[in-house]
Each structure stands twice: as C-alpha cells, then as structure tokens.
Amino acid sequence: QVELVESGGGLVQPGGSLRLSCAASGSIFNINAMGWYRQAPGKQRELVAEITRDGNTNYAEFVKGRFTISRDNFKNTVYLQMNTLKPEDTAVYYCNVQALVLRVGRTSSWGQGTQVTVSS
C-alpha cells in the first residue's frame, strides 16, 4: 500500500537544528495531509505539525516559531525543519500520511519512527 521511509534523526545539543524527511511510495493516487507526530517515553503520541496538499499548515503550540513543516508533492516527501531544539523535544518522531491508494481507497500510514535526542 504505502511505504514510508523516515530519516534525519539523531543527537543534537540544545539550541541546535535537525531536519527530518519522510518519503512515501507505493500505489498512491494522491496524498492529502502529511504530518509529524512525536512520542516521548511514558507519554502519548502527540501532533507536532501537519500540512495539507495545498500547503496549509498547523503547528502545536510548543513548536511554533521553531519548527517548519514543508512538502514536495512531486517527491511525495514531507520535511520537518527543527530549530532551537530543547531537551523536551527529545522523542521518537513519526510521520503520518493520509493518502488515496489505488484499489484500496483512503489510508492512514505511519513511518517507523526516528529518534531525536536533544542533550548536552
């Protein structure tokens, strides 16, 4: 159906930056919303940012002004530029893609997750 491959996580010092990528492939007719979520140990998964096909964005309050979500519709790829990272941003980050898949219909797919650790 839809395969998602994430990249870009790692260890960074407070105040640093990282850029996450998530590429979608498969029998995709089109992709609607794409988003990033995160889950810290002992906490529920939460929305970080999302972007529609037309480029409308929505951000969680705790990342506004620091993170930027973007997408490349030709590459079926969504990005998350994370600046001014804080220790509390440490979590596993997951991408989510809402797509219309040939012979299947509407789907919601999750990436495998990429670890982001902010520590000195």
SS3 111: coil
- Asked if residue 116 has pLDDT above 90, the reply is yes
% of residues, the chain, pLDDT over 70: 100
Query: Residues 16-21: what's their mean pLDDT?
Result: 98
Cα distance between residue 60 and residue 87, in whole Å: 17
pLDDT value for 50: 98
- Interval 51-76 mean pLDDT: 96
3-state class of 57 per DSSP?
Answer: strand
Q: Which tokens sit at 80?
A: 């998350």
Mean pLDDT of 63-89: 97
How far is C-alpha 108 from the chain's CA centre? 13
Cα–Cα distance for residue pair 17/82, rounded to 1 Å = 5
Q: Is the pLDDT of residue 99 over 90?
A: yes
Extract the runs of DSSP E, i.e. beta strands, from 15-103.
18-26, 28-39, 46-51, 57-59, 67-72, 77-82, 91-101
Residue 33 has pLDDT above 90, yes or no: yes
SS (H, E, C) 84-109: CCCHHHCEEEEEEEEEEECCCEEEEE
Query: pLDDT value at position 1?
Result: 85
